[in-house]
Amino acid sequence: MNHWLRTGSLFFALLAGSLVVSAGARAQEEEDPDAEIEEAGEEAEADAESEADAEADAEAEADEAPEEEDAPEEPEEEEEAYEPVEDEEEGLDVPRTLCHGRRVRRIRIRGNRRVSDDDVTATIRLRSGSTCRDSAVARDAQALWNQGFYDDIVVEAEERGSDRIDLTFRVRERPAIGRITFEGNDNVEQADLVEVVDLTEGGILSVPTVREQVTAIRDKYAEEGFFLARVSYRLRRMENNQVDVVFQVDEGERVTVRRVRFVGNRHLADGELQSVMRTRQSGFFSFISNDDRFNRAHFEEDTTRLQAFYYDRGYLAMRVGTPRIDLSADRTYIDVTIPIEEGPRFRIGRLVVREVDD
């Protein structure tokens, strides 16, 4: 209502402005009644002179065209920025509900199974005997929704006399998670997948959280070398308002190690280091042994093998950095780069053997 009043007041202000301009013009005309006669005479003389000069101007223009002078630019009017004025107390007049302004006689909870009535009433702030306000009902409904336990919340009001009402909160609970299962995981153990999934059997189902687990499972497969793995899920409804969450995995092929490179190995050649590793880059006979397939367990073992290889040669402070794995554009090959910090090489200066008496 107030917005319409605002628009109306602006409209009337514009009308008032036009009326002011019109009134000023009429006032000027009333001040000098002979102004119209004098102006008419002056206009007649001006017309005669303009007709006489027209021919001369035409001849002058034919001989020589005068240079046009640039008209002085009028200063641009500064644009007035529009700043909306917001007033919380002024706005559309929204019709009140049956609840607003009446006293609450009783509050009932309906539709809840796992969540007790006491838990629901502890969340809302309206109480029997309090005055009901539409804003209070919206606040309590939002508080229940934010708990994440419900798919739907409806608040109903029933008249009880002229100034009393009964409030009913009808909720529809989200299902609980019955079981979490995996299908198609031939190369990754189910126990390893359960570790990365942030779901609990018996917990409240949250579909956005289930979607997040798809990414976590895919990342786990990428660690194992299955960069082409595809993961989806389905929800299977069970009894007692429960659902089973089933993750379906299409593992795809394990990627091939195209190249293994070392950075920082100044004293030992790449070939020497590659000879002690189980992770091998692609070669002519790779299709026979399949030793060029990336395997996370083998790759972690290779770190220990490299350290032992350096220790045997006196590099006791040697350290293997965090490897970098680059995936090819077609997601079928990876290039592995292993940083090496060799450190100093230690040698035996003197060896002394002594006999120790018992």
Domains annotated on the chain, with CATH = 103-173 (3.10.20.310), 176-250 (3.10.20.310), 256-341 (3.10.20.310)
53 pLDDT more than 80: no
Under the phi-then-psi rule, with left for phi > 0, alpha for psi from -120 to 50, and beta for the rest, what region is 161?
left
Mean pLDDT computed over 44-60:
48
Residue of higher predicted confidence among 191 and 60: 191
Q: Identify the pLDDT of residue 286.
A: 39
Q: Which of 133-137, 192-196, 200-204, 254-258 is predicted with the least confidence, judged by mean pLDDT?
A: 254-258
Over residues 226-280, the pLDDT tens digits come to 888 999 999 999 988 899 999 999 998 888 888 889 999 999 999 899 888 887 7
More confident of the two residues 208 and 28: 208
pLDDT value at 328 more than 80: yes
Write down the pLDDT at residue 283: 44
pLDDT at position 194 is 93
Ranges 92-96, 256-260, 281-285, 328-332, most confident:
256-260
Which of 83-92, 112-121, 209-218, 297-306 shows the lowest mean pLDDT across its residues?
Answer: 83-92
Mean pLDDT across the chain, nearest whole number? 75
Could you tell me the pLDDT band of residue 162, with boundaries at 50, 70 and 90? confident
Q: How confident is the model at residue 301 (pLDDT cuts 50, 70, 90)?
A: confident
Mean of the pLDDT values across residues 67-92? 49
Least confident of 64-73, 96-105, 110-119: 64-73
Rounded (10°) CA dihedral 264, 299, 222, 332:
80
pLDDT > 90 in the chain, percent? 42
**How much is the pLDDT for 77?**
56
Label residue 57 by pLDDT band (50, 70, 90): low
Name the burial class of residue 29, with classes exposed (0-12), middle (13-18) and buried (19+) by CB atoms within 10 angstroms of its CB.
exposed
Q: Which residue has the higher pLDDT, 190 or 56?
A: 190
Q: State yes or no: pLDDT of 25 exceeds 90.
A: no
